[in-house]
Every structure is written in structure tokens, then in C-alpha cells.
Amino acid sequence: MSTASHLSWNTLVKDTKNTRRYQEEATDGPPVIGTLYVQQWALRKLTGGRLPERVRVTVSVGEE
């Protein structure tokens, strides 16, 4: 079984009423994630109430 993954850091660009918009930080290649929208309630649930300036995203592809 083979699994591939990609890890990216994303920085806050803008707050809206209920979401935060993040942009993938530059690396040596083109963006894999690009723009990421996350619901503020979900961020608060994951962080104990904080709204982080940066989030880390991991995408894994492989067989179950």
C-alpha cells in the first residue's frame, strides 16, 4: 500500500463574518492548496477559542 502526502502552511488573508480566508505560503513550486476558507466556529473548536493567523494543512492520498 502506497500513500503520498503534501503539507502546507497557510497565512490569514481576510476575515469575513463567519469564515477566515487563508492563502498557501510560497514554496519552490506552484501552490497545491491555494486559497482555503475555514469556518470560524471550527477553528475555535479546534483551538479552544482562538482564531489562528496560520494553519497547517495536510493532504494525504492513498488506499484505505
State pTM to two decimals: 0.85
pLDDT tens over the chain, length 64 residues: 568 888 999 999 999 999 999 999 988 888 889 999 999 999 999 999 999 999 999 999 987 6
- The pLDDT, as a whole number, for residue 29 is 86
- The pLDDT, as a whole number, for residue 28 is 87
Amino acid at 46: L
Domain holding 52, by residue range, is 3-58
- Judge whether 63 lies within some domain: no
Distance (Å, whole) CA 63 – CA 2: 7
Please give the tally of structural domains in the chain. Answer: 1
In angstroms and rounded to an integer, the radius of gyration of the C-alpha atoms of the chain is 13
- Judge whether 30 lies within some domain: yes
